[in-house]
Amino acid sequence: MSAARNRGIEAARVDFIAFLDADDEWMPTHLGALLRLRGRYPRAGAYGTAYRIKGAGLTIQVPSVDVDGIPPEPWEGLLPNYFRAAFPGPSPLSSSAVAVPKTVLNEMGGFNTDAWYGEDVDVWGRIALKYPIAFTRDGMAIYHKAARNRACDRKEPIQEHTFVTSAREALQAGEVTSALREDLLEYVASRQIQIAARNIEAGRPDLARKALKDCRTRRLRKYKYRVQVLAYIPSSVYLAISTLRSKFRGA
């Protein structure tokens, strides 16, 4: 996926690139909303619209009306703090609901081709460390969670979320402003806990414990504790319990 996106970026003849995954869709007003944002906020590093997650008969709108960091409808503008808005749930930016200037994508080095999970979140996060993010609740894209071949459905071990690596490097280089630091650290913690949970699902509780070792959080302490407990259950026992629960749900 990253390599294909990077080839598309390289071949693009315009300086404003929108993305659409094969299984997703745009509502009729989506592109117009992105172009309007670009005209109003030319110095932003990325432009996003709200989106809907559809799957298994359930539709969730992102961001929700009460999300921290994004004013309620019909607001649009520059996000006061991207990392606060992205914590702890779905990011306000989704790959099928975002457009980015080609110059900014090139500055970021494109998408990380060494990562198969979270490479889009990594790019949005790296952009947010350097640029304001423009957002509107207008527009709308639809993310089809039930579509096949989603990377988020792969149950394979992950050493570290790629944005956790990027954030650590930015912090060590002194590239994070004091205004962003606390929310960035909480956002990083949410990704570490997420990866720990995925590694438990993949039968690698050792990697889960490793992911949580340096996880520091105030807001997600209870969630972190629950995942830590699961990380010390033998993987064979955890997988057996998960299989049993799935059978009961499907009965």
Whether 59 and 178 map to the same domain: the answer is no
Q: Which residue has the tokens 């779905």?
A: 90
Total tally of structural domains belonging to the chain: 2
Range of the domain at 246: 155-250
Of the candidate ranges 147-151, 161-165, 193-197, the one whose mean pLDDT is the lowest: 147-151
| pLDDT, tens digit, 9 for 90 and up, residues 111-156 | 999 998 999 999 999 999 999 999 998 878 998 877 655 556 678 9
Residue 62 tokens read as 């992102």
120 with 29, same domain: the answer is yes
DSSP 203-250: T-HHHHHHHHHT---STTHHHHHHHHHHHTS-HHHHHHHHHHHHHHHH
Q: Distance between CA atoms of 165 and 55, rounded to whole angstroms? A: 31
On the question of a cis peptide bond just before residue 88, with omega within 30 degrees of 0, the verdict is: yes
Of 131, 63, 49, 132, which is closest to residue 96 (Cα–Cα)? 49
**Segment 90-109 mean pLDDT:** 94
The per-residue pLDDT for 73 is 77
Assess whether 74 and 130 both reside in one domain: yes
The last residue of a domain, from among 152, 180, 209: 152
b/e sequence 149-188, b meaning 16+ C-beta within 10 Å = eeeeeeeeebebbbbbebbeebeeeeebeeebeebbbbbb
DSSP state of 71: P
Q: Based on the domain organization, do 210 and 129 belong to the same domain? A: no
Residues 140 and 160 in one domain: no
pLDDT digits (tens, 9 = 90+) for 15-44: 999 999 888 999 999 999 999 999 999 999
Domain match, 106 and 165 both: no
Q: How far is CA 93 from the centre of its chain?
A: 7
**Does 37 share its domain with 110?**
yes
Residue type, 114: D
Chain position carrying tokens 């630091």: 181
Identify whether residues 163 and 141 lie together within a single domain.
Answer: no
At 26, which CATH number? 3.90.550.10
- pLDDT of residue 245 exceeding 60, the answer is no
Q: What is the largest CA-CA distance in the chain?
A: 55
- Tokens of residue 86, six digits: 């992205």
The answer on pLDDT for 198 being more than 50 is yes
Residues 41 and 144 occupy one common structural domain: yes
The whole-angstrom separation of Cα 4 and Cα 25 is 19
Cβ distance 125 to 166 under 8 Å? yes
Indicate if 65 and 163 belong to the same structural domain.
Answer: no
Q: Which of 158, 24, 11 is nearest to 97 (CA)?
A: 24
Report d(CA 53, CA 96) in Å as an integer.
Answer: 11
Percent of the chain with pLDDT over 90: 68
161 and 73 in one domain?
Answer: no
Q: Which of 152, 175, 201 delimits the end of a domain?
A: 152
pTM here?
Answer: 0.89
Q: Which of 105, 129, 152 is the last residue of a domain?
A: 152
Q: Look over the chain and give the mean of its residue pLDDT values, rounded to a whole number.
A: 88
Dig out the tokens for 116 from the structure.
Answer: 């198969």
108 shares its domain with 20:
yes
